[in-house]
Chain A
Amino acid sequence: MRVSLKWLKEFVALPATVAELTELLTRAGVEVEGVEERGVNIDKVVVAQIVESNQHPNADRLSVCKVDDGGGEPRQIVCGANNYRIGDKVPLAQPGAELPGNFKIKVGKLRGVESQGMLCSSKELGLGEGADGLLILPQSARVGAPLGELFPSDTILDLEITPNRADLLSYRGIAREVAALIDKDFTVPEIKSSAEMASSSTIRIEAPEQAPFYSVRKIHGVQVSSSPDWLRDKLASSGIRTINNVVDITNFVMLEMGQPLHAFDADRLHDAIRVRTATNGEEFLALDGRTYKLDSGDLVIADASRAIAIAGVMGGEETGVTQTTTNVILESAYFHPTGIRRTARRLGLISNSSYRFERGVDPAGVLAASQRAVDLINELADGTADPETQTGGSVPDLVRAITLRKGRSTQVLGTEVPGEFIAKTLKGFGLTTAGDHVWHVPSFRQDLRREIDLIEEVTRVFGIENIPPRETSRYFSESQTDREHDRQMQIRRSLVAHGFYEARSLSLIEATPDYMLPGAMQVRNPLASDQVLLRPTLVRGVLAAVAHNARAGLKAQRIFELGRCFLAGEREEQTKLALAMTGPLAEKSWRGENAREADFFDLKGVLASLGWKDLETRPMENPALALCAEILFKNVRIGAMGLLWPARARELDVAASVVIAEIGLPPADAEEKKFCGISKYPVVTRDIAMLAPKNCTHAELTAVLQNANEPLLADVELFDVFSDPSGEKVPREMKALAYSLTYRSAVRTLTADEVNEAHTRLKERLKAALHVSFRE
């Protein structure tokens, strides 16, 4: 809400400075979002008339003017503009004036010619951009008059009114608020005339739930013309366009009192007024020139033949007040907020009227506002009103009583607010009491419904800065979520130590076929085509990050993301971990060692380092990947890893191999670690070099060794794998493998003989199980 301080001052004495007022309102919860200075309030800037203009002797683009500023002698001014004619009236900044931007005007020489001041553009006066060149003033301007007479200064506050404070959407309301905050009185506009209320048969309310009360007043012999300056200025200062005196008056009263009004051209209405719901598909041409399609949830004002207004939102083009209007029907009503809100949102038509109705206007102010407008129409447009106001329905009684128990505010605030302060504050806001802790809330404060709401009012004025803070704590057991957070941070930090960057991607992704897994969920009302699907996997985000960085020229990449994924089913939301690696394992270095490109096994090694002992991989078919393995935890599949097809990697602008992995986090290991001793006895190692068929896997080989029940065998380490496509060193259908086997006893030093025996037994087992031969 834009508030002119000049206007506001008519109702309440304001604090001395704008800064104080801003602080006062902000502290009370009415945020000042902007302060705008309007008009000209600069000393020594006056209206001057150009009497003479000659070419500057030393500068093509300058001229030397003689101007009359009412001081007797004409002044000589050097001027760079050329948009004026002799006789034009323009603003003159006299020596001593200080223009916006600390620009001080002095007598000085411009290219050798004396200039006794400066002729000004609108921009130089802080009046906005305006046209180029001098600001040409109306001929009616009085020579020598301070420019402030033509451009009265004002300060406009842009207030953010929270949705609960409908009462602050008017000057009266803001004046009341300010007065309460500084403990002063405020005045209300005087209403001169009065009217009889007549329950009328010419008004039929067919939807009383949505329109509890409706009134019209007929005004005859209206002279529609433009509004006087004071009215135009007031509307302009509050951001409302002037139309004509009648419409301007309705807007003026709305700003002043908070009650939206509407004026119809009485001669364009047929018979009785109906307040009814629209029919489905009913079309309505509104004052903004657009046609709206209504439905049965919308409330309209209608005459016998058609809708003449969308109730509380906007009037109709056909029945508006124009220059030819002579008789006016002035509407003032109370519409229920819910219906207005629904219609305004559905039609995308938020008007000054709907904005107020949907927040709730004061039903007790409906007739007063009508009367105030009648006064003004009588005064400014010569209209004569019917003695009676025609009404339908009844003014809802929204006054309520609330008990504010003694001591309750202390319980909420943690500090005591004196009873007198509470009483004074609530009275300031217009509440009344009989002194028994029961407060009667006026109908313009629909937001005050409960005891706690009254306490809030007291708090706002008391000032939260006057409540001393208290530092309290309590002991609480660690939650499951705490443990999970700590575990996830540990995983993150481990990966960071391995050179991985953490990515965080959006959960909403594009619904491309790749990611339309069974059970994938989409939002019903997406905003953008690339934010439709709730990600069932983190892979998309991680690959997008890889592509983004590849395009930025980064070759070596290690990226991970740990976050929520979504898939319909028992565990709809699951935390997953995805990793991607590509490019050299180390950057180019003076050490001269050329780093390998990261591959499948590098990523597998990273996963293994995260400390899940029971992680296993098994070959898996996946057409999306050139190489793929499923990842199992305690024999249950928790994810997969693989190598992107090079074509897919090229789509991401990556030339090197891209390896990726994704797992659902295995359950946390809750067991406390137990120390199991360090053997005092030396280990013995024996190597096995063998030739194995190509299709024989490392997993099979180690399984044979581990299942052999050799108690002395402590560890099996693969240290070489070799195959030769030429078949020279190793037959083509075979591969050479070399393992180092470690033997150890926890209770004694092993003898060579017993190690040799165990080693031989293991080799025999391998030979029998897997058709391997040994290379000694």
Chain B
Amino acid sequence: MESQLEQIRAEALAEIERASDETALELTRVKFLGRAGSISLASEGMKTLSKDDKPRIGKLLNEVRQTVTGALDARKAALADGRDTAALSEIDVTLPGTRVPVGSLHPITRLLDRAIQIFRRMGFVLADGPDIETEFHCFDALNTPPDHPARNEQDTFYLPDGRLLRSHTSTIQIRTMESQPPPIRIIGPGAAYRRDEADATHLAQFNQMEGLYVDEQVTVADLKGTCEFFFRELLGNDARVRFRPHFFPFTEPSFEIDIKATSLGTGEKWLELAGCGMVDPAVFESINRKRGDEAYDPERVSGFAFGFGLDRLAMIMSGVTDIRLFTENDVRFLEQFR
């Protein structure tokens, strides 16, 4: 009996090894483990054994059954693997992936959001104001004389009711100071409008970002620290920032900010990118008159303001030479800013 079992085991293992496909393997399984299979018959034969032989032979029988079952499973898995491998072996993994439609943010939006993130890290919050403004918010409150050329119908768009389309986002400073006492620390992005004939560097509408910080003891040093940090964050650590005295009605002293940076690829040329200065006391005084209080007492608080054009900055940063590309919405242009 024992030798018979050993022989069954050897035969089974050999036949399993020989099975070349899953059908042949199944026939082998039936032959040995099926109801009429030789291992099944051998366990039938157990009944005839003596009490002494039973445990020994039973144990052996179990071993044989387990060995054969294990070999069958292993062979089955190997055959399945082989089949899967064959099926996949011809696939060219370098074929392109299935195309998923992709879009992109507008380059101005990208820059705007990036600028906002930088200022937020410095503790600035966003402020807003309408595009349609009063002369007070756009000019009077910003210390612009009544006969200043910017107020001209040649330069600024007016509505029939006497209001105008803001010619700069500095109106947001005024709106914010009107409604909130100091300290304030804001940035205000938005559209501005000027009656400029469209050409490669001008559009009647463009995008600006305005900043204002009013508090006790704000100085030119704070203005410098803020603007230098911003431009270095935006343009890289090697960006050099030059403040050049200038004139704006609403700041005193006033500066223009010139930048040199490797990332701009414009060589050794200083690029004029922003205007800034210390809020002119006259601006605070007109805010106080409008508020009817002394919240912005120029003897007690001071502040700095800055503003820059997003379109021009985006043009320089990305090498766009015609501003009109920003409003044409040509996908061949937009997709380059993915």
Q: Which A residues are closer than 8 A to B by beta carbons?
A: 26-29, 31, 162-165, 338, 341-342, 345, 411-415, 450, 452-453, 455-456, 459-460, 464-465, 467-479, 481-482, 484-485, 489, 492-493, 495-508, 521-528, 531, 534, 541, 544-545, 548-549, 552, 554, 556-559, 564, 566, 572-573, 585-587, 589-591
Contacts and interface: CB of A to CB of B under 8 A. Distances in A.
Interface stretch (B28-36, B56-64, B217-225): B217-225
Contacts of B220: 412-415, 459, 464, 467
Contacts of A341: 147, 149
A304 B335 CA distance: 72
Contacts of A548: 328-330
Given A345-B152, A456-B245, A496 B103 contact: yes
Given A412-B220, A564-B131, A572-B132, A502 B246 contact: no
A479 B203 CA distance: 31
Contact of B247 (A26, A164, A558): A164
26 contacts: A31-B246, A338-B147, A411-B217, A459-B253, A464-B245, A467-B220, A471-B226, A472-B222, A474-B123, A474-B185, A475-B123, A478-B125, A481-B125, A481-B126, A495-B103, A496-B103, A503-B334, A504-B329, A506-B204, A522-B159, A523-B159, A524-B157, A525-B157, A527-B204, A548-B328, A558-B103
A189 to B, nearest CB: 28
A60 B330 CA distance: 56
A31 B204 contact: no
B205 A456 contact: no
A459 B224 CA distance: 13
B52 interface: no
Contact of A470 (B122, B215, B224, B331): B224
Nearest to B195: A527
B109 A468 contact: no
Given A479-B126, A589-B98, 12 more contacts: A464-B243, A469-B224, A470-B221, A470-B222, A473-B122, A479-B186, A485-B126, A503-B106, A504-B326, A552-B331, A559-B329, A585-B101
B332 interface: yes
Contacts of A591: 98
Nearest to A559: B329
Contacts of B96: 590
Contacts of A523: 157-159, 165
B280 interface: yes
B245 A459 contact: yes
A162 B246 contact: yes
B331 A501 contact: yes
B58 to A, nearest CB: 44
Nearest to B194: A527
Main secondary structure of the interface of B (DSSP, over half): mixed
Contacts, number: 235
B224 A507 contact: no
B327 A504 contact: yes
Given A415-B221, A549-B330, A27 B101 contact: no
B156 to A, nearest CB: 8
A474 B329 contact: no
Contacts of B242: 465
Contacts of B334: 501-503
Given A342-B147, A527-B204, A485 B116 contact: yes
Contact of A501 (B215, B327, B335): B335
A477 B180 CA distance: 13
A503 B329 contact: yes
Given A29-B246, A452-B281, A506 B205 contact: yes
Interface of B: 95-96, 98-106, 108-109, 113, 116, 120, 122-128, 130-132, 147, 149, 152-154, 157-160, 165, 183, 185-186, 191, 193, 195-198, 203-205, 215, 217, 219-222, 224-226, 228-229, 242-247, 252-256, 278, 280-281, 302, 326-332, 334-335
A504 B112 CA distance: 13
Given A460-B253, A499-B100, A527-B204, A504 B244 contact: no
Contacts of A345: 149, 152, 154
Contacts of B95: 590
A590 to B, nearest CB: 7
A456 B253 CA distance: 5
A428 to B, nearest CB: 15
B309 to A, nearest CB: 14
Contacts of A411: 217, 219, 302
Contacts of A534: 131-132, 165
A165 B247 CA distance: 9
A507 B335 contact: no
A476 B123 contact: yes
A414 B252 contact: no
Contacts of A338: 147
B221 A469 contact: yes
A452 B109 contact: no
B125 to A, nearest CB: 5
Contact of A456 (B221, B252, B327, B329): B252
Contacts of B195: 525, 527
Contacts of B105: 492-493, 496, 502
B113 to A, nearest CB: 6
- Closest CB pairs A-B (n = 7): A499-B101, A414-B219, A29-B245, A414-B221, A162-B247, A545-B329, A456-B253
Given A412-B220, A501-B103, A473 B147 contact: no
A557 B329 CA distance: 12
A561 to B, nearest CB: 8
Contact of B225 (A469, A500, A503, A572): A469
Contacts of B245: 27-29, 456, 459-460, 464
Contact of B103 (A450, A453, A498): A498
A531 B204 contact: yes
A587 B99 CA distance: 7
B111 to A, nearest CB: 12
B252 A498 contact: no
A338 B145 CA distance: 10
Contacts of A506: 203-205, 327
Given A504-B326, A566-B131, A412 B219 contact: yes
A445 to B, nearest CB: 13
Contact of B127 (A162, A456, A479, A545): A479
Nearest to B221: A414
B254 to A, nearest CB: 8
A160 to B, nearest CB: 9
Most chain A Cβ neighbours within 10 Å, of B126, B149, B165: B126
A464 B245 CA distance: 8
Most chain A Cβ neighbours within 10 Å, of B103, B215, B326: B103
Nearest to B101: A499
B329 to A, nearest CB: 4
Nearest to B220: A413
B130 A467 contact: no
A485 B113 CA distance: 9
A150 B280 CA distance: 52
B130 A572 contact: yes
A482 B126 CA distance: 5
A164 to B, nearest CB: 5
A572 B129 CA distance: 12
Contacts of A342: 147
Contacts of A470: 219, 221-222, 224-225
Nearest to A589: B99
A498 B106 contact: no
A291 to B, nearest CB: 22
A465 B220 CA distance: 11
Contacts of A564: 131, 191
Contacts of A27: 244-245
B132 A566 contact: yes
A94 to B, nearest CB: 35
A26 B124 CA distance: 31
A473 B123 contact: yes
B97 to A, nearest CB: 10
Contacts of A471: 225-226, 229
